[in-house]
Structure 1
Amino acid sequence: MNSVSMIIFLFMFSVFGLSAQYTEADWEDRDTWMKTDFLLQMAGVEAGHKVADIGCHEGYLSIRLAERVRDNGRVYSVDVRSDRLEKLRTNANTRNLKNIVTILGDYDDPKLPERELDFVFIIDTYHEMESYNKILGHVKKSLKPGGKLMILEKLKDWVRNKSRKEQVASHSLGPEYVREELEEAGFSLISEIQDHGDWEKENNKQMWVILAEKPK
């Protein structure tokens, strides 16, 4: 994302409040409509695991992961904005969570440690990644053999069956593109949920989930 795109992006956030679903006040409601506990069970996250949350914003998923992996686990929380990471650290401190490591990533590199992670989560962020091929390469390097990657996105009705470019322009993405990109990056697809419910309870935004694995 160039400087002009970044300015436009930040303007949209300030004017239209596009970050609202990530603020702490909405977290409890998000637990329900995103079925977060089910997703973490589906992935197999347990105490002691080392995991990453790419596109962590203010820490919604990172906090949930930190509570699940417990003190002997670790969460690497990645975002490209330092203000989000600062807010995440505040949210973690108020909960006395010491197992979260914040990382200021680049737009083409999440800067994760190599061959260390059991799971990586990219939730409603993959569609923003212009350099998705590079990022998938970095994610693959960060995972242990047999480590898993979960991607959740929303597909908006008005861009269904449209080109990848058209979908991304609407902050949306269909699973057919991501399946192909994961396979090209060397991941094995494990499971998929084609309809995980409605994003923010809006019935024209269908969530889908893909769970993939780095070969053992």
Structure 2
Amino acid sequence: MTVRVPPRFIAVLLALALCPFALSSSALGQDEPPRNEPATESVKPGINEKFLAEDLDAEEWAGRFERESRESFATREAVVAALKIEPGQAVADVGAGTGTHLHPFAEAVGENGRVFAVDLAPAFVARLRDRAAADGLSQVTPVLCSERSVMLPAESCDVVFNCDVYHHFEFPSRTLSSIYDALKPGGRLAVLDFEREPGVSSDWVLGHVRAGKATVRAEIEAAGFDFIEELDVPGLEENYLIVFRKPAPAE
């Protein structure tokens, strides 16, 4: 009898083989959500297929992501500064990709802080592990997540950040729920994504990014977060940066 192994399972095994220091969901104290949701829950089926491919070339994608002509890369230092992260805090970069914000976050939290570099692409997690080790960033912990969960321990983060990644949340309600659980009470969620305005935005943005800022804000507030502010960061023109807070229990 031939046993067919799902490609996603193969990818996870590959990531663990390549990334012995990347934490699994069980190591982090959060189980994988059940995968029995109806297919209609996906807001954009297949949006992440290329990142789950076994032959994904992380260095090729680094060339696309890590260039000064890319607005989100060029403003990385200013964006992290605008978030006013304090030394010793724990930050999760959800959708860390090839590590565009790895150094700014590591510098912001300091040696006594922690940076969870979270991604669902095993090849990206491997690259994040290698970069952190090569650069001596002991505060960085690579994390392999799933399409439905960020796979972080409950109340482990002061700040969760994602850059040009929200539109890649295939199951936003489930992913937002896991982010909510991962944040400490009073913790912040910062979302940087493309402005999507018909007649203004490029054809690529209109075709690739499923939701504009108003819809993104409504979805995040529906997940239980309170909107705080939109930050004005020099250099951000095609992107916006909005910040939310997980409510803290009333004293």
Is the TM-score greater than 0.5?
yes
Matches for 1:41-190 after TM superposition, within 5 Å = 41-156=81-196, 158=198, 169-171=207-209, 173-190=211-228
Change (3 A) 1:212 1:95: same
Question: Mean alpha-carbon deviation: is it higher for 138-147 or for 152-161?
Answer: 152-161
Change (3 A) 1:158 1:196: farther
* Deviation sequence 1:136-167 (CA, Å, 0-9, x none): 11101111111000000012555769xxxx96
Q: CA deviation at 1:106?
A: 0.4
Q: Separation in 1 of the partners of 2:47 and 2:214?
A: 30
1:20 aligns with 2:63: yes
Q: Separation in 2 of the partners of 1:125 and 1:8?
A: 12
Q: Separation in 1 of the partners of 2:49 and 2:130?
A: 25
Q: Separation in 2 of the partners of 1:194 and 1:175?
A: 14
Q: CA deviation at 1:38?
A: 3.0
Q: CA deviation at 1:36?
A: 2.6
Identity of aligned residues (%): 27
Q: Separation in 2 of the partners of 1:189 and 1:5?
A: 27
Question: Mean alpha-carbon deviation: is it higher for 189-198 or for 177-186?
Answer: 189-198
* TM-score, L = length of structure 2: 0.68
User: What amino acid sits opposite 2:154 in the alignment?
Assistant: E
Q: Separation in 1 of the partners of 2:106 and 2:142?
A: 12
Q: Match of 2:162, SS?
A: strand
Q: Separation in 1 of the partners of 2:128 and 2:157?
A: 20
Q: Who is 1:202 aligned against?
A: none
Q: CA deviation at 1:171?
A: 3.3
Asked if structure 2 preserves the Cα contact closer than 8 Å seen for 1:119 and 1:149, the reply is yes
User: What amino acid sits opposite 1:64 in the alignment?
Assistant: P
Q: Match of 1:53, SS?
A: strand
Gaps spanning 5+ residues in structure 2: where? 1-43
Gaps spanning 5+ residues in structure 1: where? 200-205
Q: CA deviation at 1:79?
A: 0.7
Q: Match of 2:86, SS?
A: coil
1:208 aligns with 2:240: yes
Change (3 A) 1:91 1:159: farther
* TM-score, L = length of structure 1: 0.78
Q: CA RMSD in A?
A: 3.2
* Deviation sequence 1:107-158 (CA, Å, 0-9, x none): 0111011111100001100001110111111101111111000000012555
Q: Judging by fraction of residues, say which structure has more helix.
A: 1
